Every structure is written in structure tokens, then in C-alpha cells.
Chains A and B, each alone.
Chain A
């Protein structure tokens, strides 16, 4: 018996059920595809976060962060001058030793933001600091390092680093 005739002889309920099952399969396939895409997207974001480590960011800005430091966020700009801004929290006890490893002389730090760190945005919040000090120094290859720290929280120091072209 030809298939068309067989289909015609089947009850309408059976045909509707079959169509419903087909559409469900399509819907299920769509859900699986969307889910896969979502997982893949989430996975790549996670990979990016994993790649941004204190060590890798430290190499990028030419600094070595002491043990116990935490990377709070990284911000990059690609404009006429490229820029990387990094916020790190570190133990207050490690601060003096850390500054000694940077190209900035401790005596250069002055109170306030002084136009060196830019406006607050998300994790980047130097203007919320209660005791911010900042300094800047030129680097080789026409770059500048701006450094800020807030020591108002006692045992933890927030450090704001901006490395940018000029």
C-alpha cells in the first residue's frame, strides 16, 4: 500500500499527534542548540576570566604583586592612546615592599586623585577612596605609569594602576 494512502486512512487524531511530536522534536532541537550556544558563550567568558591572572596582568604592566594580593578587575582601552587599568587589593604589610619594586618613588605620592586615575566605573572606584594617594612616572617607549592607593581600610590596601601610552 502506498504511504500516502496509508496516511489518509489513519485517524485524524493520530496525524495530529504525529505533527505535534514532530514540532516538539523541532522545539527540543532548538532548545538543545540554544543551550549549547549559551554554554559555549559562558565557557569562553570563564576562560577569559581565568586568563586574567595577577601574574599575567603584572607582566603586562611591568609589576610583580606580593603574595596575598587579589585581582579586583582589569579595564582596557584601545583609542588614540591604549591603556590598561588594574585594581588590586593587597595586604597592608606588603605595600612598602611592593612600592619599592615599582618605578615610582614613594616620596612622589600626594593626596588625592589629581587627574591620574579617571572617573569611577564599576570595580574602578578610586573616587570612593577615603585616603587616596597618587603618583605618576614616565616609562620607556612613551608610556606612563599612574599609581594610586587607598590605605583607609587598615589591613588591606586598594591599589589602582593605570599604564597608558602618551
Chain B
């Protein structure tokens, strides 16, 4: 939480892992479509690519109003 508040380390393209997959799942549950990120196995791939980045920015913008 402290790290996230300080944005350190920031989300970076190419980051991958279980935490990223959980974030992608949260984005999907929030109504975002991530067809490229779920194409391989039907579940989020855990890669912070362009599609996920755009979804993060979109959800952030909506939440900030």
C-alpha cells in the first residue's frame, strides 16, 4: 500500500506475474474487455501490455471522474 501510494515501483509495460493477472481479473470484473490478454488460455496472462495499460488508464480516469 505504501509502495503503491508512492507509486514505487510504478506499473511498467512488460511487467508480468500473478499480481498483474489479479489486476487484469479485477479490470475484467470492472467491465473492461481484455481479449488479447486472455487469448492464449482464456484467463488473464499476467502481462502488462498495451491493452491492460489502456484499461488501467480508462478505469483510473472514470474513478477520478
Contact residues of A with B, CB < 8 Å? 75, 77, 79-83, 85, 113-120, 124, 127, 141-142, 146, 162, 164-166
Q: How far is the CB of A29 from chain B (nearest CB, A)?
A: 43
Since A80-B3, A115-B22, A119-B44 are in contact, a sample of 7 more A-B pairs with Cβ atoms closer than 8 Å, ordered by chain A residue number, is A79-B19, A80-B8, A81-B3, A81-B19, A82-B3, A83-B19, A115-B28
* Complex Cα gap A114–B43 (Å): 9
1/0 contact trace for B1-34 toward A, CB 8 Å?
A: 1011001111100010111111011101100000
Which B residues touch A119, using CB under 8 A? 18, 21, 41, 43-46
Closest to B10 in A: A80
Contact A165 B4 (CB under 8 A): yes
Interface size on B, residues (CB 8 A): 25
Contacting residue for B25 out of A116, A124, A141, A165, CB 8 A: A116
A118 and B4 in contact, given A79-B15, A83-B17, A83-B19 (Cβ under 8 angstroms): no
Contact A118 B46 (CB under 8 A): yes
A165 and B3 in contact, given A77-B18, A79-B17, A80-B9 (Cβ under 8 angstroms): yes
* Complex Cα gap A56–B11 (Å): 30
Which B residues touch A77, using CB under 8 A? 17-19
A162 and B18 in contact, given A115-B26, A119-B43, A119-B44 (Cβ under 8 angstroms): yes
Q: How far is the CB of A116 from chain B (nearest CB, A)?
A: 7
Contact A118 B41 (CB under 8 A): no
A118 and B26 in contact, given A80-B9, A142-B1 (Cβ under 8 angstroms): no
A79 and B22 in contact, given A119-B44, A127-B41, A166-B1 (Cβ under 8 angstroms): no
* Complex Cα gap A89–B8 (Å): 35
Which A residues touch B46, using CB under 8 A? 118-119
* Complex Cα gap A80–B17 (Å): 12
Among B11, B17, B29: residue with most chain A CB under 10 A: B17
